[in-house]
Amino acid sequence: MSTPYSCFTAYDVRGRVPDELNQTIAARIGCSFAEQFVAQKLVIGHDMRLSSPSLAQSMIHALTDQGVEVVDIGLCGTEEVYYAVFSGENQGIDGGIMVTASHNPADYNGMKLVRKGARPVSGDSGLGAIGARAADDDWWHRVQAARTSRAGTYKKNFDKSSYIKHLLTLIDTDELQPLTLVVNGGNGCAGPIIDLLAEHLPFTFIRINHEPDGTFPNGIPNPLLPEKREATAAAVREHGADLGIAWDGDFDRCFLYDENGRFIEGYYIVGLLAVAILQDHPGATILHDPRLIWNTREMVTRAGGNPVMTKTGHAFIKEKMRETDAVYGGEMSAHHYFRDFGYCDTGMLPWLLACRLMSVQNSPLSTMVDERMDAYPVSGEINSRVRDPDGVIRAVEQQYKDGEKDYTDGLSVEFPRYRFNLRKSNTEPVLRLNVETRADPQLLKQKTRELLSIIRSD
């Protein structure tokens, strides 16, 4: 079988348009996906990128030619495809494909694929086989020659009311206070959903970069980049808002700013949301990734929950959540997963839960996170490009051989006053470092410098 196209990664499909991903490749991927999972009915959605509608339509045409029933949900966020697949709203759904490149540059596009029940399709669950089949010219010729005499059905379903209703059932809107919120959709797909939710919420919304626009008039929406944070922060300060919220293009990641316009690291939000969820699910299991752990474990334990560490990445977390019946899983990268949302990540539920917690506790976000940030200061994720990632990890492990080690994801080393995680990127020769200490910012600076000097000596 052929080698997969270069647009196939460990977790999804990403590539430059049109040389790495185009309408023909999209059609092949769609048909290969359907064959891999013997899919008879699929959901297709797309983001606001200029190339997304044509890629989605190319897939739809190829799939219906093969007799597949397609439900087209149009412009949407990734979690809307997840919801359409797991909710049973459209009966008999075998999977879904979201055309998106999330926060990649404007000339990129991609796909996120899920099978029945919105279970992720990754390298360990058929993604490589889909890519290899799609790149096989002989297979594609056979597919085209064997077009079914019974064309598949095509149905548009742009009604988002069931999805909106489901989100609202996961919080008690009667507990919400009339907060003022700055919402920055980054000209991605979040804006229309905010407008639909706003009808049911007691909030005043200050909307910036609100309309979906694939020309990216305000740049690529990626709030993880420091240079992309000031617009939201400035609007919070200008309007005296209680909270700032920003999303990436397909809004599967949600980023929060306190009432002072301060960007809050996703690590501290994980602990906060865990506490919010445990109020409704006492004693439940909460998953967290291995990069930063002390704050999350302490908050979950204090709230009566059971913290469990799992490997970074949506496929691993979703699998572990099902295995442990976890109610919530959080990554410091601002991906948040909920059992009541099909074990999937959503960028809408986190800010709703944060608003509920602020309302119930009658407390600003800053008050809820300041103590935690002082107790466990962090370095932030620091990337280093190196020639030999495995060799660098071995050198670091040898240097810190006296620490307690864990290999859940990369190398984690723990000492009484500090710990760190060093892991490889899945897509490039980059090492990602995270360091945390117990209430010691000076030790944090010292150990971060010390580790980087070893890492970057390569």
Which residue of the set 32, 102, 379, 412 is catalytic? 102
Establish whether 102 is a catalytic residue. Answer: yes
Residue 371, by phi and psi: left (phi above 0), alpha (psi -120 to 50) or beta? alpha
Report, as residue numbers or ranges, the catalytic residues: 102
